[in-house]
Amino acid sequence: MKIKTILLALMLIAGIETMCAQGTAAATTPNESDKIVGIWETGTGKARVNIIKSGKFFYGRIVWLKEPLNEEGKPKVDKNNPDETKRAAPLLGMRMLAGFEFKGDNLWEDGTIYDPESGSTYQCKISLEDNNTMSIRGFIGISAFGRTDTWKRLQLKK
């Protein structure tokens, strides 16, 4: 009777250890929705955007500009913003992607993209083509009336 109890206890302990190890592995596996987190270069190469996750939403800020200074040698600002009070805001550090939610199948939707060159904000969806390529589609109303840009992930040197 004691041997059966000891064997049962050992089997129970082994099962618990296995479950704990599986739980730890699952906890350290990156969430599929986080695949877009990182620094991306826009299709024109004029800017780089850092995409982060906050809660269940994704946002992107401009972290690099090919030409960060204007003709006067001063940092470029959001001169085309329709809100006059925001026209002095620097482009570097500006949030241009906002409110994206992961929908599954490498798709993030329900967000917006701000275009500082036109001062316009568009509805937007992001689809990940592979780990280093994403398609960003800005549109008005329905996706068919829009434009797609392809962004490339930057591989940071260690």
Q: Domain locations in the chain?
A: 1-30, 32-153
DSSP structure string for 87-155: TTSBSTT-EEEEEEEEEETTEEEEEEEEETTTTEEEEEEEEEEETTEEEEEEESSSTTSEEEEEEEE--
Closest by Cα among 123, 138, 131 to 152:
131
How confident is the model at residue 156, as a pLDDT?
66
Look up residue 143 and give its two tokens.
Answer: 């996706």
**The overall pTM is greater than 0.75:** yes
Q: Position of tokens 């329900």? A: 110
How confident is the model at residue 143, as a pLDDT?
87
How confident is the model at residue 71, as a pLDDT?
94
What three-state secondary structure class fits 35? helix
Based on its alpha-carbon atoms, the radius of gyration of the chain, rounded to whole angstroms, reads: 23
How confident is the model at residue 112, as a pLDDT?
98
What three-state secondary structure class fits 32? helix
Based on the number of CB atoms within 10 Å of its own CB, is 142 exposed (0-12), middle (13-18) or buried (19 or more)? exposed
What are the residue ranges in the chain where pLDDT is below 70? Answer: 1-30, 156-158
| Assigned fold of 32-153 | Lipocalin (2.40.128)
How confident is the model at residue 155, as a pLDDT?
84
What three-state secondary structure class fits 48? strand
How confident is the model at residue 142, as a pLDDT?
86
Arithmetic mean of pLDDT over the chain: 85
How far is it, in rounded angstroms, from Cα 89 to Cα 27? 39
